[in-house]
């Protein structure tokens, strides 16, 4: 096993509007295109309620009543179908140069799944994969969604782990376009679960899986990168 020698900035700012975090990601990716040797970054945060659609996502998985909810619906450049973010869900955005890891998209997706599986194992929860699908399930309920964008081997977007969110927002969509497998949260098995504890376990698992040393920071060097049209 390699030593945990590659540095990775860790930024955990709490609750962040989706468009702000999206801008951060685009800025960090643009910087690493210009400077491929700059350190990796892991953003760990929460979002106010928001729905996001992957680049090629179909509106057939968005139910009509969503228009009356007043919750933003944003089309972004990741893969995958529609999903929902809200407080109580831990969202992770790794900005990694896979040239410094393993330049393989399938490997990267499986590693993100493994981070979640290892993070929840100490809680007594057994996360598993489902062949042909991306994400992590516990007892048949999907607790973590994954959607990524990789350009020139630099990653953005990432994973969303349902720790203790209000799941009602998922009722207005067909999450990830999967009709026969319900969404779940860790709080369904562990009602007294502590968000901060799970966040810490995700940090530890990420560090081990990707062989990085996380360096907490209160600031990020950001470039002015305009958002694309929604």
**Catalytically annotated residues:** 176
Distance of CA 57 to the CA centre of its chain: 17
State the Cα–Cα distance between residues 90 and 152, nearest whole angstrom.
Answer: 27
The strand ranges marked E within 114-153 are 136-138, 141-151
State the Cα–Cα distance between residues 156 and 24, nearest whole angstrom.
Answer: 10
Residues in the chain: 230
Q: Going edge to edge, which strands form the sheet with 83-85?
A: 73-75, 50-53, 83-85
For residue 28, give the H/E element and its range: helix 18-34
Phi-psi label, residue 211: left if phi above 0, alpha if psi -120 to 50, beta otherwise:
left
Q: What is the DSSP string of 87-122?
A: TTEEEEEEE-BGGGS---HHHHHHHHHHHHHHHHGG
């Amino acid at each position: 096993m390699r030593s945990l020698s590659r540095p990775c900035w860790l930024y955990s700012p709490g609750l962040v509007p989706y468009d702000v975090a999206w801008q951060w990601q685009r800025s960090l990716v643009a910087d690493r295109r210009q400077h491929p040797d700059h350190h990796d970054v892991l953003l760990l945060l929460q979002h106010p309620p928001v729905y996001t659609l992957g680049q090629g996502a179909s509106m057939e998985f968005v139910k009509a009543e969503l228009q009356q909810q007043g919750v933003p619906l944003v089309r972004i450049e990741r893969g995958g179908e529609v999903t929902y973010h809200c407080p109580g869900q831990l969202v992770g955005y790794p900005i990694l140069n896979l040239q410094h890891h393993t330049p393989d998209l399938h490997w990267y997706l499986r590693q993100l799944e493994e981070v979640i599986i290892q993070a929840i194992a100490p809680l007594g929860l057994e996360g598993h994969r489902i062949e042909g699908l991306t994400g992590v399930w516990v007892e048949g309920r999907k607790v973590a969604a994954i959607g990524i964008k990789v350009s020139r081997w630099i990653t953005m977007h990432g994973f969303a782990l349902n720790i203790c969110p209000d799941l009602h927002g998922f009722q207005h969509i067909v999450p990830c376009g999967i009709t026969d497998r319900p969404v779940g949260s860790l709080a369904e098995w562990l009602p007294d679960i502590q968000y901060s504890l799970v966040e810490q376990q995700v940090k530890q698992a990420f560090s081990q899986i990707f062989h990085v040393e996380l360096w907490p920071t209160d600031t990020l060097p950001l470039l002015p990168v305009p958002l694309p049209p929604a």
